């Protein structure tokens, strides 16, 4: 039933090996050398196992190389994402990052006077000048006499009402057996309400005094009842009275763009959206001029990082494609015929070498900003790149990011789609024409909304979310508009049984296209890398089972 694969003999005994790994002894003679038989059988089984093990070893090496390539591809996707914003404003990308540049006419460093921090991505480039004449401070009230010890009973009785003027207060009942230590503990337990803390400090060897301190700047400590809690020995105030400060004494005073202003805190965050200004030092007659500008250093660095990571991926691909003189892959080039590696190479090399469809003028491709191709790899002329970024930052952004315009001002593109050019293009001979997409919003007789995206006369239904006067139109998964969000303003005034539409024209830059191309490949479990890895591991498992049967 099983074909003979190989046969051997020892002395007058013969046996044969079958493809199932079984050994059938044909003859047994006196004086048989059992050791020779066992050794022959063992060698036969090793010969059966070796082809399977060789395949497993090669595939294991392939899995290791695939993992390294996946890591490089993830790095390229990450570098592309930093140059591609999900928000159409670009604020989440490198091009949306801002920095502050301060200067003055004195030798005092500007960051010694003020600090600038960007909080929530809503800041915009602008310029302002500021002079700090008084910093806000925290109010402190200190007693003028004290107790001989922290734990000695004070011998005082009464009610102490504590807080910040104009704010919440708390009434503390003081008994004659209460010590300074216990009083401080009770005061600090209520500091969330009173916004006042207390501590004991040693004024002299037998003189421990009480201090109150406002938790926040600008607030005047309010103490009521202290006058009735005098030291029954010295007649002084163990419980301090008011500090004597006023709100004007404790507030910050500054001039912004020649307008005098005050605040209760040294951190100013209610003047410019997304900008927090920290007033660090008061210096009259020192005016700090601040420019809020695009962080061109970060932009340049992230572009150079993208080029560097791209080149690393290309270098890996080139090493995997090297062949020996006889045409076979060189040692270690285990992915030379891997279709996934070829797909990645074709995608990324095509994207970086092409012009961004739809862009016009002086900025259409990487070559226009100092990034050229040296064979398969990219080379950056740092001086040209820096000059082009400084010259027209937004034009450079469009080479990497998604950009869109809407013909109807009631519609605003809020979020970029995952793909655009790769899906929304029609070839007319050798020329690629980028077609605009139409968004149509309908309102039925019953007041219900629906919307569609239309491209090349094909209509795609959209998902709808209505929030008051705003309608969010979301591209569905599986369509060229997946990930795109268009916001319509005017839902409440839109008539029943009517429609509104807009024409959206978009361009998809290098960073956006790279991210879109690689994202699906790198998706856990269902992406191309995961599926390729699973396929190889299944083959290894099968061969391992064959080895176990042989053994």
In the DSSP assignment, the letter for residue 94 is: G
Stretch 372-381: mean pLDDT, rounded?
92
Stretch 344-369: mean pLDDT, rounded?
92
| Rama region for 447: left / alpha / beta (φ>0; ψ in -120 to 50; rest) | left
Q: Lowest-confidence range among 44-58, 358-372, 415-429?
A: 415-429
- Mean pLDDT of all residues in the chain? 86
Model confidence pLDDT, tens digit, residues 182-219: 999 999 999 999 999 999 999 999 899 999 999 999 99
Check whether 449 has a pLDDT greater than 90. yes
Under the banding of pLDDT at 50, 70 and 90, the label for residue 435 is: low
| pTM, rounded to two decimals | 0.74
Q: Per DSSP, what are the bridge partners of residue 463? A: 474
Q: What is the distance between the alpha carbons of residues 529 and 68, in angstroms, rounded to a whole number?
A: 11
Q: What is the distance between the alpha carbons of residues 357 and 419, in angstroms, rounded to a whole number?
A: 13
Check whether 71 has a pLDDT greater than 60. yes
SS3 326: coil
Query: How would DSSP label each residue in 199-233?
Result: EEEEEETTEEEEEEEESSTTPPEEEESGGG-B-TT
Question: What is the reported pLDDT for 42?
Answer: 57
CA proximity to 240, closest of 250, 226, 251 = 226
Query: How would DSSP label each residue in 55-90?
Result: HHHHHHHHHHHHHHHHHHHHHHHHHHHHTS-SBTT-
Under the banding of pLDDT at 50, 70 and 90, the label for residue 70 is: very high
User: Are 459 and 485 in contact, with CB atoms under 8 Å apart?
Assistant: no
Q: What is the distance between the alpha carbons of residues 299 and 388, in angstroms, rounded to a whole number?
A: 11
In the DSSP assignment, the letter for residue 265 is: S
Check whether 510 has a pLDDT greater than 80. yes
Q: Lowest-confidence range among 270-284, 402-416, 436-450?
A: 402-416
Question: What is the reported pLDDT for 186?
Answer: 96
Under the banding of pLDDT at 50, 70 and 90, the label for residue 112 is: very high
CA proximity to 120, closest of 262, 271, 265, 273 = 273
Q: What is the distance between the alpha carbons of residues 130 and 280, in angstroms, rounded to a whole number?
A: 12
Under the banding of pLDDT at 50, 70 and 90, the label for residue 4 is: very low
Write out the two tokens for 235. 């007649």
User: Comparing 55 with 131, which gets the higher pLDDT?
Assistant: 131
Question: What is the reported pLDDT for 55?
Answer: 85
Question: What is the reported pLDDT for 122?
Answer: 87
Question: What is the reported pLDDT for 549?
Answer: 74
Check whether 169 has a pLDDT greater than 90. yes
User: Are 486 and 412 in contact, with CB atoms under 8 Å apart?
Assistant: yes
Stretch 394-399: mean pLDDT, rounded?
94
SS3 185: helix
Q: What is the distance between the alpha carbons of residues 215 and 199, in angstroms, rounded to a whole number?
A: 12
Check whether 156 has a pLDDT greater than 70. yes
Model confidence pLDDT, tens digit, residues 135-148: 999 999 998 888 88
Check whether 502 has a pLDDT greater than 70. yes
User: Comparing 229 with 452, which gets the higher pLDDT?
Assistant: 452
Question: What is the reported pLDDT for 551?
Answer: 62
Question: What is the reported pLDDT for 135?
Answer: 97
Q: Using only the alpha carbons of the chain, give its radius of gyration.
A: 38
User: Are 324 and 289 in contact, with CB atoms under 8 Å apart?
Assistant: no
SS3 281: coil
Question: What is the reported pLDDT for 15?
Answer: 47
Model confidence pLDDT, tens digit, residues 255-291: 999 999 999 999 999 999 999 999 999 999 999 999 9
Check whether 232 has a pLDDT greater than 80. no
User: Comparing 358 with 409, which gets the higher pLDDT?
Assistant: 409
Check whether 457 has a pLDDT greater than 50. yes
SS3 486: strand
């Amino acid at each position: 039933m099983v074909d003979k694969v190989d046969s051997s003999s020892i002395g007058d005994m013969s046996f044969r090996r079958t493809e199932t790994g079984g050994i059938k002894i044909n003859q047994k003679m006196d004086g048989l050398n059992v050791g020779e038989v066992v050794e022959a059988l063992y060698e036969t089984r090793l010969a059966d196992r070796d082809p399977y093990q060789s395949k497993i070893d090669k595939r294991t090496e392939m899995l290791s190389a695939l993992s390294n390539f996946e890591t490089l591809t993830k790095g390229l996707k990450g570098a592309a994402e930093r140059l591609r914003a999900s928000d159409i404003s670009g604020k989440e990308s490198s091009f949306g990052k801002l920095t502050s540049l301060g200067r003055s006419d004195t030798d005092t460093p500007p960051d010694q006077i003020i600090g600038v921090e960007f909080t929530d991505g809503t800041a915009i480039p602008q310029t302002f000048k500021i002079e700090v004449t008084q910093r806000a401070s925290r109010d402190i009230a200190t007693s003028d006499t004290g107790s001989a010890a922290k734990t000695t009973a004070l011998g005082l009785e009464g009610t102490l009402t504590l807080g910040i003027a104009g704010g919440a207060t708390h009434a503390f009942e003081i008994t004659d057996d209460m010590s300074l230590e216990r009083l401080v503990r009770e005061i600090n337990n209520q500091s969330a309400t009173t916004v006042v803390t207390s501590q004991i400090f040693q004024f002299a060897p037998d003189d421990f005094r009480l201090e109150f301190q406002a938790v926040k700047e600008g607030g005047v400590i309010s103490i009521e009842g202290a006058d009735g809690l005098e030291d029954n020995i010295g007649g002084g105030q163990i419980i301090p009275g008011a500090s004597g400060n006023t709100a004007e004494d404790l507030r910050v005073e500054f001039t912004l763009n020649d307008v005098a202003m005050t605040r209760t805190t040294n951190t100013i965050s209610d003047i410019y959206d997304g900008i927090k200004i920290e007033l660090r030092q008061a210096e009259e007659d020192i005016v700090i001029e601040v420019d809020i500008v695009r962080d061109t250093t970060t932009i340049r660095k992230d572009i150079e990082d993208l080029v560097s990571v791209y080149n690393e991926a290309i270098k890996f691909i080139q090493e995997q494609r090297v062949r020996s003189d006889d045409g076979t892959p060189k040692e270690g080039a285990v992915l030379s015929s891997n279709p996934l590696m070829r797909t990645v190479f074709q995608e990324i090399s095509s994207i970086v070498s092409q012009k961004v469809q739809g862009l016009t003028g002086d900025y259409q491709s990487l070559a226009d900003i100092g990034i050229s191709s040296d064979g398969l790899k990219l080379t950056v002329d740092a001086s040209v790149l820096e000059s082009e970024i400084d010259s027209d930052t937004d034009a450079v952004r469009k080479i990497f990011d998604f950009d869109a315009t809407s013909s109807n001002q009631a519609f605003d593109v809020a979020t970029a789609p995952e793909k655009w050019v790769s899906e929304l293009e029609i070839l007319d001979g050798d020329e690629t024409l980028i077609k605009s997409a139409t968004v149509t919003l309908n309102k039925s007789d019953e007041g219900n909304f629906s919307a569609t995206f239309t491209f090349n006369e094909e209509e795609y239904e959209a998902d709808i979310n209505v929030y008051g006067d705003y309608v969010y139109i979301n591209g569905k998964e599986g369509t060229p508009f997946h990930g795109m969000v268009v916001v319509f303003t005017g839902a409440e005034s839109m008539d029943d049984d009517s429609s509104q539409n807009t024409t959206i024209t978009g361009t998809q830059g290098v960073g956006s296209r790279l991210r879109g191309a690689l994202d699906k490949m790198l998706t856990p479990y269902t992406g191309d890398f995961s599926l390729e890895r699973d396929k190889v591991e299944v083959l290894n498992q099968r061969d391992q089972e064959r080895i176990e049967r042989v053994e």
